[in-house]
Amino acid sequence: MSLFGLGSRNQKTFRPKKSAPSGSKGAELKRHIDATLGSGNLREAVKLPPGEDPNEWLAVNTVDFFNQVNILYGTLTEFCTTSTCPTMTAGPKYEYRWADGVQIKKPIEVSAPKYVEYLMDWIEVQLDDESIFPQRLGAPFPQNFKDVVKTIFKRLFRVYAHIYHSHFQKIVTLKEEAHLNTCFKHFILFTWEFRLIEKSELAPLFELIESILQ
């Protein structure tokens, strides 16, 4: 049984928010994120707090960024449709095909909304898997945990790239551009701090990213 009712796709958030992993530990780190974000200094907000486990920090932030992208994309679901966006692109030069390596081994061309739906389902399965994202305090993270996080971030970036290239005018009309820019800046500063996405993958938005990193 999925966590989500069948009608949930049509609500404003693409799907319900996930809560932080790792029990009370995750909640504590989440409060730290909210407090540092509240100060407005995103460069400080992304840094590993002194004495904290890097994997715990990656885990809590992965859930946070998943929620952010989920909510941002949720504002666009009525405008990002199979007819407006028949393929998942980021401008004319970049097209993304979907494969999860399990059910879909060979990358397939799908519409942008289908790609995002596949992506969110795929991330959610991992967030709910306690062998990957442990919920109990002190439970070990898998050896390949950072690689899992890197793949999640690489694919979340594609949603940002699609939003900026295909829906930015709509975002402006909705008066959401300041929020989008802040979320993306936070995402990029975190990605850069922990070297989570290869530079070549960032190409569709590299001018914007350079202006953020300067």
Mapped onto helix, strand or coil, the DSSP state of residue 88 is strand
**CATH number 3.40.50.2000 given to 37-213:** no
**Mean pLDDT of all residues in 101-113:** 93
Task: Inform me whether the pLDDT recorded for 81 exceeds 90.
Answer: yes
> What is the pTM (predicted TM-score) of this model?
0.86
Tell me what the mean pLDDT of segment 116-134 comes to.
94
Please check whether residue 16 is in contact with residue 4, taking contact to mean a CB–CB distance below 8 angstroms: yes
pLDDT of residue 211: 93
What's the Cα-to-Cα distance from 152 to each of 6, 86, 125, 197, rounded to whole Å? 24, 23, 12, 10
What average pLDDT does this structure show over 74-89? 95
Token representation of residue 25: 């530990």
**Which residue ranges make up each domain of the chain?**
37-213
**Burial of 161 (C-beta count, 10 Å sphere; 0-12/13-18/19+):** buried
Is pLDDT at 30 greater than 80 in this prediction?
no
The predicted pLDDT at position 2 comes to 31
